Amino acid sequence: MSWSKLKQQLESFLSPALVGRVEYLASSYRYLPDKAGLCYLAVDKKKVLNMSDKTTLIRWYQTELEIKNDSGIQIPISDEEIDAVRKDTKGVVPEDRLQVMARSRKRTELAKELMSAQSSLSKSNFVVVANKFLSTSIEDSIESKDILLNILALVDRRVGKKRMLNMTEKMKVKHPVVQYFYELRLSTL
């Protein structure tokens, strides 16, 4: 599918409140078929999603340690996760320490997931991911670990107010760029 047709289809799924605010932009290298073109998302004429651009509004993590130490990431833990730690330690650890250990485990898992998603985004071909978005359900795109699929789903008109409000807890552990688009969409409800 050509870029213009793909762009047209993606824009047809934009939430009415975001039409004209969110833009899909691309540049390609016609005579260098082995070199990928640049694709990025702009909000209000500012490039938001472009990993190679140093002026981007979103923080890109360089290491897992940065993610673990980021106070902006709030990690909710469940009773099942605390019980798993209790079982692993054979019940000899104080209750308040169990929560710290469970949160630490979850933070490590989250850091690995975010780094993996971020690195796959830098290597991904926007056109391939956009075509995948157009052929999968909106639920699968929201639940995906792919940052770009999450963003395309969040700005989609098929995601309503109730679903957006129910996603608040899930969004706390997503990449900052996904959180940015979530907040953008919430501001239009």
* CA dist., res. 113 & res. 146, Å (int): 10
User: CB–CB of 185/15 below 8 Å?
Assistant: yes
Question: What confidence score (pLDDT) does residue 32 get?
Answer: 53
Res. 28: pLDDT tops 60: no
Mean pLDDT across 20-43: 70
User: CB–CB of 117/175 below 8 Å?
Assistant: yes
- Weakest mean pLDDT among 15-24, 67-76, 134-143: 67-76
Q: Report the percentage of the chain scoring pLDDT > 70.
A: 82
Higher pLDDT, 85 or 49: 85
Question: What confidence score (pLDDT) does residue 164 get?
Answer: 93
Q: Work out the mean pLDDT of the chain and round it to a whole number.
A: 82
> Which residues lie closer than 8 Å to 133 by C-beta, 6 or more apart?
10, 141, 148, 149, 152, 153
Q: How distant is the alpha carbon of residue 119 from its chain centre? A: 12
pTM over cut 0.75:
no
Mean pLDDT across 89-116: 84
Question: What confidence score (pLDDT) does residue 109 get?
Answer: 83
Q: Quick count: other Cβ atoms within 10 Å of Cβ 54?
A: 6
In the structure, what pLDDT confidence band is assigned to residue 47 with cuts at 50, 70 and 90? confident
